[in-house]
Structure 1
Amino acid sequence: MKNYRSKILILITVLNLGSETAFGLQQDQIQTDKVDKDSTTLPKPYATESKVNHSNVIGWVEGKMPIAPSGFKVMRFADGFNNPRWIYMAPNGDLFISESSTSPNSANQITVLRDSDKDGKYDVREIFLSNQNKPFGMLVLGNYFYVANTDALMRYPYKEGQKNISETGTKILDLPAGGYNNHWTRNIITSPDGKKILISVGSGSNNGENGMDKEIRRANILEINPDGSGEKVYASGLRNPVGMQYYPGSNALWTAVNERDELGDELVPDYITSVKRDGFYGWPYAYFGKNEDPRMKGQRPDLVQKTLIPDVNLGAHTASLGMAFYAHKTFPTTYHNGVFVGQHGSWNRSELVGYKVIFVPFKDGKPSGKPVDFLTGFIDDPKKSRVHGRPVGVVVIGDGSLLVADDVSNVIWQVSVAK
């Protein structure tokens, strides 16, 4: 009888494990050993030729869409946008989409989507705010709606549930405009206590080639008071920090950083990292720790020695921009408190890389495994550098599903658990 009970317990355990890994990432796909960031081995600069290889976007034909792991479904959540670059979910669940680009025909507007009857589908779609200058980051804080344009932080009076804003708003902070390789985006988030606003500002060059006097207040995360006063540099040496979020339930700030180009196919890796106040992360003098950039050799050995090693290597030229921690319970436990990262894709690599959403598992507030693919299928033909779309902004919404902004195909994709 004892042996029989043991067999039953083993069978139940196997079945339970099977139900957990029957969809989503299999347990053997995620290495859950401690991630040793100090052990990252990088090739030497110029180990391979630096190549220009821009992708050709063909869009999505009917019936074609990105691919998620088994057990998930992908659907068009919304389309018909004009370069939907970023998605922000307000405290009341409203979704704000910034539509902007470097094109002369940039929409320069923000659209709001609302699910009034809470059936999982939006039933309100309005142009919330227009006549902006390359808007990107958005934030509701107190009775204000903030918009981070490429050259300024704007603040507008706001009431929950508003469908549009017609006021001119107030410019509370000038921001450095322009930028190499589309470093025009400015993201904003609030500190957990709501007392500070953080602003990400990318560099104005690849590796400081225009002179560091042109990089004042750039390649930084800035910190201000909600009225625009009291500006400080929170962290520096971050070439293009775009995604920013606090780890769920903590004061630990994380960011996704798009690193420099023209050192070869495998340099320099993009990364996500926890951000230390007053920390220096290398740009433009060093990368991934004390690896000196040969183009800046000998210029600032003091800063090379100060350079912090980022937490997770996401691969060179992947254009890792969007990030969203998964603080819900709808997806399998494998995903709980891990982070999704939108990789916009390469232009400076002999073969395309990125063009997908990846997932990094976390445990106890720290990365617990290597990045794995989550949403793929954006690359159509790698030999012809042909792609369907380019994922960028990612956000987890109230029902626990993941939204992904595909800015060149003007679609927002939704990934949810298949029922």
Structure 2
Amino acid sequence: MPIRHPRPKPPRLACVAAAAAFVLAVPSAGAQTAIDKLKQFKVATTDLNIPQVPQTGRNADAIRQNLQRIKLPPGFSIELFAVVPDARHMAVAPSTNMLFVGTRKTTVWAVTDRNSDGVADEVKSFAPSLKFHNPNGVCWTKDGFLIVAEHNRVLNFPAAEFFYEGPDVAVIEVVGQGKLIPPEEESFNHGARTCRVGPDGKLYVTLGQPFNVPARDKLDLYRQWGIGGIVRMNAFDGSGREVFATGVRNSVGMDFNPKDGSLWFTDNQTDGMGDDIPTGEINRATKPGQFFGYPWKQGRTRITEFGYDKDPLPPNITDPQVYTDAHAADLGMAFYTGQAFPEKYRGGFFSAQHGSWNRTKPIGARVLFTSLKADGTADKTEVFAEGWLDASGIYRGRPVDVAMAKDGSLLISDDFAGAIYRVSYQAP
């Protein structure tokens, strides 16, 4: 859940300009690319018109019709907030009624509710003069800089919510193309990154395993880079990079508990082991250096490929806080700190299940809620919203991420229907 932060401070912007000038002291070879120009605050395109995504018509009507199938606890209602093609992870803007939405394609969307009525008025691409590559992860620094975590690059956009109207925006390369992981380890599997800025001000990025199960000869390299784990670094220049957590297969969602600063994250399970194993995971990291068991163990199950089940279990495995249904694909999560929902939900977290693709009977396509105990550990997990997977096994939507809006309502992204939903509460 994005935390409300103050407006960007002029001193930081001055530092950004100085940093950009320093970075560009070395001339680039050949013609300047769009990102080279934007790093110099120069124009990359002369076309100032950015097409908008239609918010009315047959598609929007059909999505609203499907929402009538969604089951929620008493007092809650769900409506279409915006039509957003391929909508994945969301970052609610700190100072305006808008949010930025990543995709697994080439677009980051800027979604704006100009009249503050709880329905988006405008959806258009953000920084279209740039070519994004799988910009799934979006998040904010504490002083209002937008981070976009791509498959193998991390970008930082100063004051994005104020300078998104045109196609050209200032940009900082936090991690240059091909430097987040070794390019030879890129894969179409598990390349969707997620990001959060922690209480320490550092940028945290999830790095999924490129394979279903990694071969033994990859383990040392992956530990070194933090592949199959979470890395953290300076959010503006990528310096001080370190591996924060290891033993993770493919986390595509995380959030910090604002009460104690612990980092919670989902983890997707190994494919091809049957309908009911291994269970999915939601984990809690309380300090750097924790190991979460993969590839020797996931959920309650030993991993059999490459003989990992024959090895003694490594010591000091941190077990999951929540075990979820196998192959339900747990993705985005967010702590609820608002006041609009009943007391039961305050301080717990919501998480999205994308839905299974490798199960004889599909499962998932829903939103869960997990409450916490007084000591900060997980208490109970229950289904909060479901119905995107109908009785015939057909997906009418696939939730990806959850985020709390400023008014305390809950936003849910759906990359299958290409939409963002808004869940609100009114006492029955």
Give secondary structure in 2 for the equivalent of 1:405. strand
For 1:363 and 1:409, how far apart are their aligned partners in 2?
35
> Residue 232 of structure 1 is aligned with which of 229, 235, 242?
242
SS at match of 1:371: strand
Matching residue of 2:253: 243
Report which of the two has the higher share of strand. Answer: 1
Between 369-378 and 208-217, the greater mean CA deviation after superposition: 208-217
Pair 100,116 (structure 1): closer, same or farther in 2 beyond 3 Å: closer
| Residue 188 (structure 1) aligns with | 195
Structure 1: gaps of 5 or more residues:
1-58
**1:187-214: CA deviations, max 9, x gaps?**
11111142x1111111101111485167
Structure of higher RCO (CA pairs closer than 8 Å, 6+ residues apart): 1
The residue that corresponds to 1:282 in the other structure is 293
1:154 — aligned with what?
155
Counterpart of 1:121? 119
The answer for the alignment partner of 2:232 in structure 1 is 223
The alignment-based identity, stated in percent, is 29
Instruction: Kindly provide the amino acid, as one letter, of the partner of residue 226 in structure 2.
Output: R
Report the more deviating stretch, 142-151 or 326-335.
142-151
> Counterpart in 2 of 1:405?
413
Aligned counterparts of 2:63 and 2:124: Cα–Cα separation in 1: 26
The CA deviation at 1:122 is 3.5
Q: CA deviation at 1:160?
A: 4.9
CA–CA separation in structure 2 for the residues paired with 1:368 and 1:144: 31
- 1:359-374 maps to which residues of 2 (within 5 A)? 359-364=369-374, 366-367=376-377, 369-374=379-384
Secondary structure (helix, strand or coil) at the match of 1:147 reads: strand
2:335 maps to amino acid: F
Distance in 1, Cα, partners of 2:226 & 2:340: 40
Say yes or no: does 1:346 pair with 2:347.
no
Rounded to whole Å, the distance in 2 between the matches of 1:307 and 1:300 is 17
> Does the CA contact (< 8 Å) of 1:96 and 1:110 recur in 2?
no
Counterpart residue identity of residue 185, structure 1: A
Query: Which whole-Å CA distance do the structure 2 matches of 1:283 and 1:206 have between them?
Result: 11
Match of 2:135 in 1: 135
Does 1:392 pair with 2:400? yes
TM-score, normalized by length of structure 1? Answer: 0.77
Contact 1:90 1:96 in 2 (8 A): yes
Name the CA distance, whole Å, in 2 between partners of 1:365 and 1:259.
27
How many residues matched? 351
Deviation string, structure 1 residues 44-63 (Cα, Å, up to 9, x no partner): xxxxxxxxxxxxxxx95662
After superposing the two structures, state which structure 1 stretch, 85-94 or 401-410, moved more.
85-94
The whole-number CA distance in structure 1 between the counterparts of 2:316 and 2:152 is: 30
CA distance in 1, matches of 2:399, 2:144: 31
Residues 180 and 206, structure 1, Cα contact 8 Å, conserved in 2:
no
Counterpart residue type for residue 286 of structure 1: K
> For residue 87 of structure 1, what is the aligned residue in structure 2?
90
- How far apart in 1 are the matches of 2:395 and 2:118? 29
Alignment of 1:33-112 (within 5 A): 60=62, 63-65=65-67, 66-79=70-83, 81-101=84-104, 106=105, 108-112=106-110
Report the secondary structure of 1:242's partner residue. coil
- Cα 1:124/1:267, change in 2 over 3 Å: same
CA contact (8 A) 1:284 1:296 kept: no
Find the aligned partners of 1:62 and 1:331 in 2 and give their Cα distance: 23
Q: Distance in 1 between matches of 2:63 and 2:203?
A: 41
Q: 1:263 to 1:298 in 2, by over 3 A?
A: closer
1:201–1:217 Cα contact (<8 Å) kept: yes
In structure 2, how many angstroms separate the alpha carbons of the residues matched to 1:365 and 1:403? Answer: 28
Q: Is the 8 A contact 1:93 1:397 kept in 2?
A: no
Q: Deviations over 1:335-379 (max 9, x none)?
A: 111111100011121211111111111232534533211111111
Query: Any idea what the Cα deviations from partners look like across 1:122-176, whole Å, max 9, x if unmatched?
Result: 4444422232111011233246332101111112333652224514734322223
Separation in 2, partners of 1:397, 1:230: 32
Q: Secondary structure at the residue paired with 1:64?
A: helix
SS at match of 2:271: coil
Q: Distance in 2 between matches of 1:94 and 1:87?
A: 13
Given the two structures, how large is their TM-score scaled by the length of structure 2? 0.75
Q: Alignment partner for residue 201 of structure 1, among 182, 199, 207?
A: 207
Q: CA deviation at 1:298?
A: 5.3
Equivalent residue, structure 2, for 1:48: none
Question: For residues 115 and 96 of structure 1, what CA distance do their matches in structure 2 show?
Answer: 9
Q: Distance in 2 between matches of 1:378 and 1:412?
A: 13
Deviations along 1:111-130, one digit per CA (max 9) or x if unpaired, are 22233444433444442223
Q: Secondary structure at the match of 1:366?
A: coil
Between the aligned partners of 1:217 and 1:380, the Cα distance in structure 2 is: 38
Residues of 2 paired with 1:168 and 1:377: CA distance?
A: 41
Q: What SS is found at the alignment partner of 2:379?
A: coil
Q: 1:395 to 1:95 in 2, by over 3 A?
A: same
Structure 1 SS opposite 2:72: coil
Q: How does 1:208-357 map to 2 (within 5 A)?
A: 208-209=214-215, 211-212=217-218, 215=222, 216-226=225-235, 227-276=237-286, 277-288=288-299, 291-297=301-307, 301=311, 304-357=314-367
RMSD: 2.6
Contact persistence 2:189–2:211 (CA under 8 A)? no
